[in-house]
């Protein structure tokens, strides 16, 4: 093997590889160099020269183009390669293994044979990049080393911005490295340097060997293996080791006297996750994924990433001032599937300013009204267009981003799109109640503009359903068990920014979420009182009135408070039935306590309805409390 490796890599790259004392790694690289048969192999260390080489190769090969602002480049995926391929993303399972009906899986041997047949000689004419990264801060209990083999300079460059360099970590760990493995090839490319054989696009995840295979695709969600693909292998590992891998942001909410309280938050798409984590005045550690561990009875979290692969549609200076400023400043940023204008600047759907009449994007040259082969009008940028950047380019990047100990979690937030049921902000009674009624019961309505039929409610446990690699019931049980091991579990909250009145008008302004966050920060330190309702603990009017003035310099009417925080009995009872039906029919391994806690909530709601009617104002519950 050594002679063959040295021949294929050349002396310089061979020496870089064997500097890492890990025979398993050497065998892995040798196997796929031989199978994929690239013309050239480049082993990338953490040196600035090596990293710069990869970035230059992405441009030289035509996968990226320079833009007018220094450091900015643009990449185009193929027209039909613009999103995660859920149909062809499968777990490879050995005989007897079962992840449940909700997860897409196939026989491991069958899948490996298929993927290896596709990979045979697939990199002929290409250069293979051997990349080393670290999921989580370096030299940390949270860290997971990862090696990526890819023939795409764009993928290799993107990972430079999204992950911590890991070559030195591999050298340090040597044979002790328990690393994730990723094999990617964009496959045959057309004249625009985009993947041709989309019919053979495959994304296969081998949980046993912690290896991800991705072929005939360039879109980042399918190819940047350390992101949502690694999330699946990490959820599986976390389940075995007793920690949590969550689809959550990590942010610091700044409280009184310079205090910072860290929150994690899970929101399905289009429910306010990014806008919450990027609120002006607060600071961010991560916008997407959190590793959470119990360290001596205290929950601590890290961001396994160090960058953002963010949806750019709708980013504008009013709603996203921090991101907007960064996207218009010099710095290393990759735009993908946006429109490039004659001035070599970029435009996207929802960007402020007059729309261009000409540009280049993922469909080639574009003018308004252009249609694709199926007769569909092509928008000026793809709805899933993205930007990729290092978090440290953002003014609000938190100082604890790379803390190997992680940050102490002061609260957990679950948010969904709900027009008629949940109040704007609410705290659970305890950890178990929060995990079940706010996390496991997390539900969101679809929007007509983006997801098809409007108002369809979908249950998405912890906003992690698409990425689970273990049965849903086990996943919920892991959460419940995790809380039992904590000395003082952090409070769990739900938020709902989308409550509407009888006329279909939103009851909350976009900016109100800043107040809900400040209230949650105070609650995590028990500095404000609450009103107990059948579904949880809600704020008192006086506290919110003060916070609205302090935070937004805005008057908050008691009439608005009473409307927003009315407990809607009928709607809450209907939600409980939807959640129970989901778990009874789709999750055979649901822990019994889920049904018990939901039934307790149902009985509290029925009792309140018998006493006070279908719609109960917070004032009623406050009076009830005062009478006791």
Residues linked to residue 263 through DSSP beta bridges, in sequence order? 251, 411
Question: What is the rounded average pLDDT for all residues in the chain?
Answer: 94
CATH number (3.60.15.10, 3.40.50.1000, 3.40.640.10, 2.170.8.10) of 309-393 reads: 2.170.8.10
Q: Tell me how far CA of residue 339 lies from CA of 79, 158, 555, in angstroms.
A: 13, 19, 42
pLDDT in tens, 86-126: 899 999 999 988 877 778 899 999 999 999 999 999 999 99
At residue 223, the 3 state secondary structure works out as helix
CATH number (3.30.70.560, 3.20.20.70, 3.90.228.20, 3.30.70.20) of 245-306+401-627 reads: 3.90.228.20
In this prediction, residue 453 has a pLDDT band, given cuts at 50, 70 and 90, of low
pLDDT in tens, 561-584: 999 999 999 999 999 999 999 999
pLDDT of residue 628: 62
Helices (H) and strands (E) in the chain, counts: 19, 33
pLDDT of residue 23: 96
2-63+85-241 shares its CATH topology with 245-306+401-627 = no
Mean pLDDT within 397-407:
98
In this prediction, residue 447 has a pLDDT band, given cuts at 50, 70 and 90, of low
Please pick, among 36, 44, 134, 271, the residue that the annotation labels catalytic: 271
User: 243 or 450, which is more confident?
Assistant: 243
Closest CA to 116 of 43, 13, 206, 46: 206
pLDDT of residue 225: 87
Domains of the chain: which residue ranges? 2-63+85-241, 245-306+401-627, 309-393
Model confidence at 452: pLDDT above 80: no
Which token pair is 438?
């706010």
Mean pLDDT within 385-409:
97
Q: Where are the alpha helices (DSSP H) in 389-493?
A: 431-434, 448-451, 472-484
Contacts for 116 with CB less than 8 Å, ≥ 6 apart: 35
Model confidence at 449: pLDDT above 50: no
Q: What angle do CA 342, 343, 345 make, to 5 degrees?
A: 105
pLDDT in tens, 177-229: 999 999 999 999 999 999 999 999 999 999 999 999 999 999 998 999 898 89
Share of the chain above pLDDT 70, in %: 98
pLDDT in tens, 520-569: 999 999 999 999 999 999 999 999 999 999 999 999 999 999 999 999 99
pLDDT of residue 454: 62
Residues linked to residue 409 through DSSP beta bridges, in sequence order? 262
Topology given in CATH for the domain delimited by 2-63+85-241? Phosphoenolpyruvate Carboxykinase; domain 1 (3.40.449)
In this prediction, residue 446 has a pLDDT band, given cuts at 50, 70 and 90, of confident
Would you call 271 a catalytic residue per the annotation? yes
d(CA 478, CA 547): 36
């Amino acid at each position: 093997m050594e002679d063959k490796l040295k021949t294929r890599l050349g002396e310089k790259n061979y020496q870089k590889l064997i500097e890492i004392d890990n025979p398993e790694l050497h065998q892995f690289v040798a196997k796929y160099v031989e199978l994929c048969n690239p013309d050239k192999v480049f082993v990338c260390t953490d040196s600035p020269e090596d990293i710069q080489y990869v970035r230059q190769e992405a441009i030289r090969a035509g996968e990226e183009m320079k833009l007018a602002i220094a450091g900015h480049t643009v990449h185009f995926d193929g027209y039909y390669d613009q999103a995660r391929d859920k149909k062809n993303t499968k777990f490879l399972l050995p005989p007897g293994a079962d992840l449940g009906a909700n997860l897409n899986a196939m026989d491991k041997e069958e899948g490996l044979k298929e993927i290896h047949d596709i990979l045979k000689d697939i990199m002929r004419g290409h250069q293979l990049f051997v990349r080393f990264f670290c999921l989580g801060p370096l030299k940390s209990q949270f860290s997971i080393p990862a090696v990526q083999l890819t023939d795409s300079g764009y993928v290799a460059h993107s990972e430079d911005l999204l992950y911590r360099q890991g070559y030195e970590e591999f050298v340090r760990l040597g044979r002790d490295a328990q690393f994730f493995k990723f094999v990617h090839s964009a496959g045959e490319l057309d004249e625009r340097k985009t993947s041709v054989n989309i019919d053979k696009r495959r994304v296969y995840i081998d949980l046993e060997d912690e290896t991800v295979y991705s072929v005939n695709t360039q879109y980042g969600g399918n190819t940047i293996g350390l992101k949502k693909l690694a999330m699946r292998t990490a959820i599986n590992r976390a389940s075995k080791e007793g920690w949590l891998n969550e689809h959550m942001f990590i942010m610091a909410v700044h409280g009184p006297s310079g205090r910072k309280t860290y929150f994690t938050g899970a929101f399905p798409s289009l429910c306010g996750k990014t806008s919450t984590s990027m609120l002006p005045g607060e600071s961010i550690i991560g916008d997407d994924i959190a590793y959470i561990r119990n360290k001596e009875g205290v929950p601590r979290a890290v961001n396994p990433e160090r960058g953002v692969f963010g949806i750019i549609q709708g980013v504008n200076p009013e709603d996203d001032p921090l991101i907007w400023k960064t996207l218009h400043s010099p710095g290393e940023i990759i735009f993908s599937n946006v429109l490039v204008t004659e001035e070599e600047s970029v435009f996207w759907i929802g960007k402020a300013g007059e729309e261009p009449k000409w540009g280049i994007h993922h469909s080639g040259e574009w003018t308004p009204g252009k249609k694709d082969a199926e007769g569909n009008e092509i928008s000026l940028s793809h709805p899933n267009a993205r930007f990729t950047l290092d978090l440290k380019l953002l003014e609000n990047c938190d100082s604890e981003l790379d803390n190997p100990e992680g940050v102490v979690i002061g609260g957990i937030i679950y948010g969904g799109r709900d027009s008629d049921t949940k109040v704007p902000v609410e705290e659970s009674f305890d950890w178990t109640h929060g995990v079940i009624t706010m996390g496991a019961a997390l539900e969101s309505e679809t929007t007509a503009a983006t997801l098809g039929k409007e108002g369809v409610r979908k249950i998405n446990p912890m906003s992690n359903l698409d990425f689970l690699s273990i049965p849903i019931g086990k996943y919920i049980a892991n959460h419940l068990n995790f809380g039992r091991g904590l000395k003082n579990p952090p409070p769990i909250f739900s938020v709902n920014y989308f409550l509407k009145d009888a006329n279909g008008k939103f009851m909350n302004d976009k900016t109100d979420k800043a107040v809900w966050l400040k209230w949650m920060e105070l609650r995590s330190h028990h500095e404000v009182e609450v009103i107990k309702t059948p579904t949880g603990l809600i704020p008192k009017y006086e506290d919110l009135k003060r916070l609205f003035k302090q935070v937004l310099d805005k008057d908050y009417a008691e009439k608005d408070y009473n409307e927003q925080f009315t407990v809607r009995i009928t709607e809450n009872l209907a939600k409980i039935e939807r959640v129970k039906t989901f778990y009874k029919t789709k999750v055979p391994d649901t822990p019994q306590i889920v049904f018990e806690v939901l039934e307790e909530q149902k009985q509290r709601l029925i009792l309140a309805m018998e006493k006070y009617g279908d719609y109960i104002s917070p004032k009623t519950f406050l009076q009830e409390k005062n009478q006791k």
